Homo-oligomer: A and B are copies of this chain.
């Protein structure tokens, strides 16, 4: 019960087998011991570590940030200022994305609302794309 094959680890964590091997290759997971026939064997600590990685990925943290967070998680007595900093930076990045997507959303909705839904020559969607002066969004 304590040692798992890669397939069982995948089952236990919801992370696909090739993704686990990928995480090993980029150093998010350590190289595990192998059986005589060269198969990977994982312990419960790896289950926890992989779950941590999965949750962080679900929240959109990048590989580098996750590497940092894992390092911090292993040092309980240190300050959590850095960990919070990573989360705060991520929050800001998400806010930026939401702002950009919301502006985009409104612009596309306007195009559609203004379109008489007739022929291409009067199609607002095509018109806005063809002529930047017709659209609202900022350059960058």
**Chain A residues at the B interface, C-beta cutoff of 8 Å:** 14, 48, 51-52, 55-56, 58-60, 69, 72-73, 75-81, 83-84, 86-88, 90-91, 94-95, 97-98, 101-102, 104-105, 107-109, 111-112, 115, 117-123, 125-126, 128-130, 132, 135, 137, 139
State the copy count for this chain: 2
Contacts of A139 in B (CB 8 A): 14
Closest to A95 in B: B105
A129 touches B80 (CB 8 A): no
A120 touches B52 (CB 8 A): no
B94 touches A125 (CB 8 A): no
Closest to A108 in B: B91
A69 with B105, Cβ < 8 A, contacts A80-B118, A84-B115 known: no
How far, in angstroms, from A115 to B80 measured CA to CA in the complex? 9
Contacts of A14 in B (CB 8 A): 139
